[in-house]
Structure 1
């Protein structure tokens, strides 16, 4: 008796073959090509990086980058929106193939995740309410500071950040918060800060692009001019699938060489954040 196996069934078996923290060699890439779909994890409220627009559609720089990656792979893109801490945990359970979010590729994260290509550069900054008397980072000494949980900014606030990513410079801590409050996203933290200086927070630590987007949207905030540190951001996959990693790396290189990546960054930020600052 002949047994016929559908292409979809084969693809499903490839997905199941991926464990919660690693991927079998070739399995993810084979699944993407078989289903002609690249599943990408993004956020719905990550500022300009990724958000829901007026049509309730996902939009933003990460969304455009993901669409461009899929296009160059010759597949369609499917977005999923897990929590940030689930993404960083590495427990993907085969639910997506790639994660965005401008993640800083630290060595600690590399124990659970893989970073095939850098695609954006940024600066972490402190932002305060416009009525705040704080003018420099040292003015935040003993203050209540908000950060996204499981982020490099949380590590900075707790003085546990290890600058071990590509191009990193030594970290100098300019203040010690009196309290560090963690949030699911930067947007929720900024919503608390906009209520007033010290109402819930005195400052939020986040990427400069997030601050600029919030201020443009009418948030009564101001950035303290001195950056906390400069970052590199990477595409994120699970370790174990060298074929998929190499394909993503080659695709990002192609997007950098043909100007696609630069155009996306300039479209959303008016500056080319694909180039190191």
Structure 2
């Protein structure tokens, strides 16, 4: 699922955020009052079908959008969305431009160290997608001599780069800003395969069942959670309570069936298997 590499830049950003907080006149929300104004402000990258994207009327739609609205209703607040490019979404969170990221964020060991993450609300892992008119690729090794498309800086992209080295596979990994471009390249035979999240893969296959097939097993286990600032643990607990209530009421299953055609929100495996 989507991720952003953490490093020195994040440390600098965190220090800057702390300094700005110390100089603030009190206008920014704190971890204790993130929902006190009755608004849940959410950062999303609106280019990731079917999780969050713009429809033909330019309306923000997708699994995460429906989930976020249901979450806000359960919490008794209003959801407000801010669309942000993926490469800046974590910086925006730390700069307090919004309260949380609900944008297909994989739970990873690295991210758990730098952010407060909720319990998972949907299962996820990465898979390889092939065209039906080509030999299906079942394992990463079978990508030898082929081209593989991935969305830049996602966990699929990071995993592909690592597996390429670890397994000694001669595969050319082509980076795309979004999965729309990657699948367009796959359809146009500019690349041979795509590596992406299982939910995303299932959506594209459902839209074009005669064109695409999920050809590999699920290669990782990286369920998706809500991302908050590291200090926002009290708010994260509220999210966890709301997620549990939505699961028990059947609302999460309803949203999952709408977007994936199956329920990916029950019995989520929480043992992380991440290639990073």
Query: Is the TM value for this pair above 0.5?
Result: yes
Asked whether the 8 Å contact 1:51–1:60 carries over to 2, the reply is: yes
* RMSD after superposition: 2.9
The within-5 A match list for 1:261-272 is 261-272=252-263
Cα distance in 2, alignment partners of residues 80 and 29 from structure 1: 22
The structure richer in strand per residue is 1
Q: 1:268 to 1:135 in 2, by over 3 A?
A: same
Asked whether the 8 Å contact 1:265–1:272 carries over to 2, the reply is: yes
Q: Secondary structure at the match of 2:182?
A: helix
User: Does 1:234 find its partner at 2:237?
Assistant: no
User: Does 1:204 find its partner at 2:223?
Assistant: no
The within-5 A match list for 1:153-172 is 153-159=156-162
Cα distance in 1, alignment partners of residues 170 and 256 from structure 2: 33
Please name the residue that 1:179 is paired with: 172
Asked whether the 8 Å contact 2:131–2:212 carries over to 1, the reply is: yes
Asked whether the 8 Å contact 1:209–1:269 carries over to 2, the reply is: yes
The within-5 A match list for 1:1-277 is 19=17, 27-28=30-31, 30-34=33-37, 36-88=38-90, 92-137=94-139, 138-159=141-162, 176-196=169-189, 199=190, 201-218=191-208, 220-275=211-266, 276=268
TM-score by length of 2: 0.78
Q: 1:153 to 1:88 in 2, by over 3 A?
A: farther
Gaps of 5+ in 2: 1-15, 23-28, 270-276
Q: Map Cα deviations across residues 233-271 of structure 1 (whole Å, 9 max, x no partner).
A: 111111112221211111112212222222211222221
Gaps of 5+ in 1: 1-17, 162-172
Number of equivalences: 245
Divergent runs of 4+, >3 A: 20-24, 88-92
